Structure 1
């Protein structure tokens, strides 16, 4: 019988998302593919430092600690297969159980998300993230300058999400962009009882909660989630009612009314935070691993 990843939480990510290959990538930018491949081969036995997504991956794989295969992590990379040697060696040295990888030597890799059944794609390449989002997969571009601390709260996986254009659709954000804050508040008050349409990251939040329920008390790692949004009262009500309608809870909700998110995320200490606005990502990156979700009306790049 063939192996399949059904009923697993599948995370696909580029090598630059999992490991710090920024210096090597500079060689690629300045000298090209051949020089990059030679450098990675020369460094094949030199373990790479943790990248932005390393804490997230490490803790997700801890949901397999009782021997039950619940989470699968796959490298999905524009790297050449030779450079992939260092990726697998670095994963082994770090104690990260990564067994599968697809290396495309510069070709867009996101087309392989479908056969993987991926619930999340993380990459340092904005075009690949955009292609994944267009294909209806949760995806984010990692902020390589994010603060990374792989050892904090080791028995708790903390993930924070923005609301509009991330967990929810950008319906309300479009009202704000076209009519301003008063129009937005009036619109959300009038539609408070009508759930927001789902955004690109609703499937990931659902999959994470299925994972937590499946693992229960069998593993030490626990999931803690937060909604961190620029909404404030009275627009908070529609967000809360939407989550109730979906049957999905979050552990913390921060309705910040335009305040910078970074200081609040610094207290929450996320292993990853997802937001659709670059200014929020820049603030959040000072607190922990951050990914830009290039979806919605504020990211018109693909419309």
Structure 2
């Protein structure tokens, strides 16, 4: 019987998302890939330091048991195969069971996400993230400057998500940007009983919910939070939308435009996902952050990759 990833939570992660390779990447961007390859080979025995996605990946792999592998982490990277040697050795050094990888030497790697049945793609490359989102995969560009907070809650995976254009579609956000706050509030009040269409990260939240249900006997837990600029009365449609999906979040923060960073510091996420750069910059001071390049706020980027 052939090997299959069906039924697993599959996380595709780039080398720069999982490990801190910013110094090496600067050489790549200022010279060429051959100099980069040579540096990686020189550092083959030097394990790379953990990157932004490392705490999340480390915790997710704890859902695996010898008799039941529930999570699969796959390297999907623009790195060349030679540089991939260091990536795999770094993973082994840190005790991460990462066995599969796709290395494309500069070519867009997102096209392999379909073959992997990926539930999430984390990368440091704008174009790869945008292309993945356009083809229907939850994806985010990691903020390399994000602080890491995994040690605060060692037995919990804490995931925080923005609402509009991330967990939900950008339907309401388009009303806000075209007609202003009052029109947005009126629109959401009149549509409070109508669930919002799913956004790009709804499938991930659903998959995390299913993973938790399937592994309730394990000591590691998943805790989720909706962190949105919405406020009452626009909160009702968001809550009813989650109810219609039969998905429960543990916390919900309706901030009415307040800066998200201070609230995320209190929540201490292993990852936060938002579609707006300003919110991501604030969130990066609180924990690992991913910019979801979707919706009306990122249309200029999406058009570039279509």
In structure 2, the partner of 1:111 is: 111
Aligned partner of residue 151 in structure 1, secondary structure: helix
Cα distance in 1, alignment partners of residues 87 and 149 from structure 2: 20
In structure 2, the partner of 1:142 is: 142
Tell me if 1:232 matches 2:231.
yes
- Structure 2 unpaired stretches of 5+: none
In structure 1, the partner of 2:76 is: 76
TM-fit CA distance, 1:293: 0.3
TM-fit CA distance, 1:300: 1.2
TM-fit CA distance, 1:149: 3.3
Alignment of 1:54-69 (within 5 A): 54-65=54-65, 67-69=67-69
Partner deviation per Cα, 1:33-74 (whole Å, 9 max, x = no partner):
000000001101111111000011011101114641000000
Alignment of 1:4-43 (within 5 A): 4-43=4-43
Cα distance in 2, alignment partners of residues 280 and 149 from structure 1: 18
Partner deviation per Cα, 1:77-114 (whole Å, 9 max, x = no partner):
00000000010000011111000000000000000000
Cα distance in 2, alignment partners of residues 151 and 259 from structure 1: 27
Tell me if 1:291 matches 2:281.
no
Cα distance in 2, alignment partners of residues 66 and 211 from structure 1: 16
- Structure 1 unpaired stretches of 5+: none
Cα distance in 1, alignment partners of residues 26 and 296 from structure 2: 32
| Residues 16-25 or 147-156, more deviating | 147-156
In structure 1, the partner of 2:213 is: 213
Cα distance in 1, alignment partners of residues 190 and 140 from structure 2: 32
In structure 2, the partner of 1:3 is: 3
In structure 1, the partner of 2:275 is: 276
In structure 2, the partner of 1:266 is: 265
In structure 1, the partner of 2:86 is: 86
Cα distance in 2, alignment partners of residues 52 and 146 from structure 1: 6
| Residues 264-273 or 24-33, more deviating | 24-33
Partner deviation per Cα, 1:196-243 (whole Å, 9 max, x = no partner):
0000000000000100011111x2100000000000000000000000
CA RMSD for the aligned pairs? 0.8
TM-fit CA distance, 1:30: 1.1
In structure 2, the partner of 1:252 is: 251
Matched pairs, number: 302
TM-fit CA distance, 1:151: 2.3
Tell me if 1:168 matches 2:168.
yes
Cα distance in 1, alignment partners of residues 65 and 57 from structure 2: 13
Given the two structures, how large is their TM-score scaled by the length of structure 1? 0.99
Aligned partner of residue 185 in structure 1, secondary structure: helix
CA contact (8 A) 2:149 2:269 kept: no
Aligned partner of residue 204 in structure 1, secondary structure: helix
Cα distance in 2, alignment partners of residues 159 and 211 from structure 1: 13
CA contact (8 A) 1:54 1:150 kept: no
CA contact (8 A) 2:149 2:268 kept: no
Cα distance in 1, alignment partners of residues 266 and 293 from structure 2: 25
